[in-house]
A and B are shown apart, each in its own frame.
Chain A
Amino acid sequence: MVNRRIRLVLVVISLVVLQTTVFTHLRVFGAVPDLTLVATIAMAYEEGPMAGAVFGFAAGLSTDLFLSTPLGLSALAFALTAYGVGLFQSGLIRESRGIASVLGGVGGIVGNAIFLIVGGIAGHGELVSVHNIQVVIVASLYDALVAVAVFPFVRWAVRDADTGRTRPQR
């Protein structure tokens, strides 16, 4: 259990470092992927809505420390997205190829949309603009791409060392 927590902290730290260093140089059409959001979606997929929401809150808060948008905005968006993805996958989705990209892309759109809407309501009206909607679409495609690498990373972090199993019994 302790090892698992350490691995999850390691996932958040390494993805935040990658996001704030390497990916600031890898902007495509003005967009960068949200690595910690994709990790949050992976966590919700592997562990269910509540574990995903808690992880999303922590990952979002860590990301917020490096943004100029209000602290807590990503935390809120990530937690709600994870809860939604967790509920959705527990009822409908079965293991299949390409599920990481699909969830990464769709979750990227949902997470960023929540971010913009809540930010707009919280007094940052400049966030709600046509350009930012375009950015969300490009970023979600980028999220779908990086999900292929991020999902196995999260799966490694949450796996049970004894059984090797990752998905909880429901």
Chain B
Amino acid sequence: MEVYRRDTRGRSLLLMLVVTSLVLVTLDSGNNGLVNTLRAQAHNVISPIQSLVDDAFSPLRNVSNGITKYSAVRDENARLRRQIADLHGQQLRSRGVGSAVGQLEKLLDLPTVQGVTGIAARVTGGSPGNFDRTVQINKGSSKGIKVGYPVVTGDGLVGKVTQVSSGQATVTLIDSPTIGVGVRLETSSVDAITQARAGDRQLTLGVLSDTGAKVQKGELLFTSAVRNSAFPPDEPVGKVVSSTKSVGALAPTITISTLVDLSNLDFIKVLRWPDPTATPSGG
């Protein structure tokens, strides 16, 4: 009898834990302010320790990279030199097109990336979990970073800030299935939205504005110039790897690779967008 009572109490407690968890999951799915505050506080507590560990690991990581990637780095250097020469030529050729786009953006009163200021930060680590594509950066709300700010490197778009505490922030990468970026293809001028799948470093394009357009391999993609967009316009995102249309399909399957190596981030820049007039409160 006693055993039975104890077991019933145990099951009631387990049921209570399950119900509490489900309530929390539901609350957080609705982007609850209390949950966000709790998360920010937890990050605040752990942030100094995280910085210490990152500093301790940094030399080890550099040595290990130097040993294992020496030959790859040398080849990459040569490839990048060739690429710089090619890009210089391309830049000159596209100057004319760029000026026309700029004039049109002014005519339509669209915001541009030129006026956006940024906050440089260092990536301190990846996600502590197995199922999210995020990185931690070493600057947070004390430096003016807010949730929703886009994150870039010199090569292009990286992602956006999804959590922020005073000393650090979490950036969700553009190859996370939870993020879709509105993009415009360079020459075919098709508008689309990027779609990511878990574990796949390449993205596909969905919601194409023109399903019949001829999309070229190697064509670049930029963020769309749309009012109230989450990302500033004309930021490079990726390039087309393949475009195939299977028989009977309404739209082609366009696969793209990101311009930024998202698995190897070191320094990034957080753009004060869509709040470009915000004054910096730190570095």
Give A residues with C-beta under 8 Å from B: 16-17, 19-25, 27, 30-32, 34, 49-50, 53-54, 57, 60-73, 75-76, 79-80, 83, 112, 115-116, 118-119, 122-123, 126-127, 129-132, 134-136, 139
When chains A and B are docked, how far (Å) is the Cα of A67 from the Cα of B43?
11
- Check A50–B10 contact: CB distance below 8 A: yes
Q: Give the most central of B49, B125, B136: most A CB within 10 Å.
A: B125
When chains A and B are docked, how far (Å) is the Cα of A49 from the Cα of B7?
10
- Check A69–B13 contact: CB distance below 8 A: no
- Check B24–A71 contact: CB distance below 8 A: yes
Ordered by A's residue number, 13 sampled pairs between the chains whose C-beta atoms are within 8 Å are: A20-B46, A50-B10, A63-B129, A64-B24, A68-B162, A68-B172, A70-B29, A72-B20, A72-B27, A75-B17, A79-B14, A112-B130, A131-B197
Q: How many A-B residue pairs have CB under 8 A?
A: 149
Q: Select which of A22, A34, A134 is within 8 A of B53 by beta carbon.
A: A22
When chains A and B are docked, how far (Å) is the Cα of A64 from the Cα of B131?
12
> 9 extra interchain contacts, Cβ-Cβ under 8 A, other than A24-B127, A79-B17?
A32-B130, A34-B130, A50-B10, A50-B14, A65-B42, A70-B24, A72-B22, A72-B24, A139-B130
Would A23 and B128 be within 8 Å (CB), given that A57-B21, A73-B25 are in contact? yes
Question: Does B170 interact with chain A (Cβ within 8 Å)?
Answer: yes
- Check A75–B163 contact: CB distance below 8 A: no
- Check B22–A76 contact: CB distance below 8 A: yes
When chains A and B are docked, how far (Å) is the Cα of A70 from the Cα of B22?
10
Question: Does B38 interact with chain A (Cβ within 8 Å)?
Answer: yes
When chains A and B are docked, how far (Å) is the Cα of A68 from the Cα of B129?
9
Closest chain B residue to A56, Cβ basis: B17
Q: Give the most central of B22, B24, B28, B198: most A CB within 10 Å.
A: B198
- Check A72–B21 contact: CB distance below 8 A: yes
CB distance from B119 to the nearest CB of A (A): 21
